């Protein structure tokens, strides 16, 4: 199925939760959805017979100035079609529902997005840092991140 067909099907089912379909750029159109209904939409995408998106290729955090975003890349083994989903949350309250119960590979990807970008995934069983040390301060991949001077007695820069 093409992305705009998937968008139309989702729109009829979920209505206002699907905010936008953007295919203005030269490659990779995406669907922007609201954070509240993310878990239900992903469940439908995985289990519904016409979608069957059972493979989560990648989950990345994005820094969008005042907001943080999460991008999901999905793939279906049976129909071999792909989809890009985006979710946006403000930096003052960066909470997004977790999809680790739907795709088990989202577990570590979400921990990495929390570690590097500061997105907090609600419902995750173990939301702690994964790559940086456990007592590291700050979220390194944000654009306004300031590298600390000293870490445990060692000069950082």
Partner 1 sequence: MGLLNRLDDPYEGGGILMGTVEDLLNWGRSKSDYYLHFGLACCAIEFMAMNASHFDFMRFGTIPRTSPRQADFIMITGTVTFKMADRIKILYEQMAEPKYVISVGSCSNCGGPYFEHGYHVLKGVDRIIPVDVYIPGCPPRPEAFHEGMIQLQKKINEQSIFNKRKKLKAELKKNNLISK
Partner 2 sequence: MSDKKRLDLEYSTHDSDKMRINVGPQHPSTHGVLRLEVEVDGEIVSEVIPHMGYLHRSFEKVCESMTYPQIIPYIDRIDYISAMNNEWPYVMALEKMMDIKVPEKVEYIRVIAAELNRIANHQIAVATFGMDAGAFTPFLYFFRDREYILWIFEKLSGARLLYNYFRVGGVSGDIYPTFKDECLDVIKKVRKTNAEVMDLLIYNRIFIQRTAKIGILPADVALSYACSGPVFRGSGVKYDLRKDETYSIYDRFDFDIPVGKGEVGVKGDCWDRNIVRMHEMEQSCKIIEQALAQMPMEGDVTAAFPKKIRPPKGEIYMRAEGPKGDLGFYIVSNGSDKPERVKARGTSFVNLSVIPEISKGYMFADLILILGSIDIVLGEVDR
Residues at the contact surface with partner 1, assessed by CB under 8 A: 132-133, 140, 145, 147, 151-152, 154-157
The three-class DSSP label of residue 70 is strand
Residue 152 binds: one of partner 2, partner 1, none (C-beta under 5 to 8 A by kind): partner 1
Pairing of strands 82-90, 95-97: unpaired
Quick one: 13 or 136, whose CB is closer to partner 2? 136
Inter-residue contact 24 to 32 (CB < 8 Å):
no
> How many C-alpha atoms does 99 have within 13 Å on its Cβ side?
29
Considering the rule CB under 8 A, would residue 54 count as an interface residue with partner 2? yes
Quick one: 14 or 142, whose CB is closer to partner 2? 142
Considering the rule CB under 8 A, would residue 155 count as an interface residue with partner 2? no
Q: Which of 31, 29, 30 is nearest to 11 (CA)?
A: 31
The binding track of 61-100 with respect to partner 2, each residue x by CB under 8 A or -, is: -xx-------x-x---x--x---x----------------
Quick one: 36 or 104, whose CB is closer to partner 2? 104
Instruction: Copy the structure tokens of residue 65.
Output: 């100035």
Q: What's the DSSP call for residue 145?
A: -
């Amino acid at each position: 199925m093409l992305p705009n067909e998937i968008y139309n099907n989702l729109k009829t089912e979920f209505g206002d939760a699907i905010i936008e379909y953007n295919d203005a750029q030269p490659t990779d159109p995406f669907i922007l959805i609201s954070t509240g209904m993310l878990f239900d939409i992903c469940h439908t995408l995985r289990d519904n017979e016409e979608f069957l998106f059972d493979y989560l290729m990648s989950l990345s955090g994005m820094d969008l100035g005042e907001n943080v975003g999460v991008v999901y890349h999905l793939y279906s083994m049976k129909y071999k079609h792909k989809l890009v989903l985006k979710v946006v949350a403000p930096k003052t309250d960066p909470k997004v529902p977790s999809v680790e119960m739907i795709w088990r590979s989202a577990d570590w990807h979400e921990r990495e997005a929390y570690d590097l970008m500061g997105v907090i995934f609600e419902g995750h069983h173990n939301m702690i840092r994964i790559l940086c040390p456990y007592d590291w301060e700050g979220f390194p991949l944000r654009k306004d991140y300031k590298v600390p001077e000293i870490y445990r007695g060692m000069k950082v820069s």
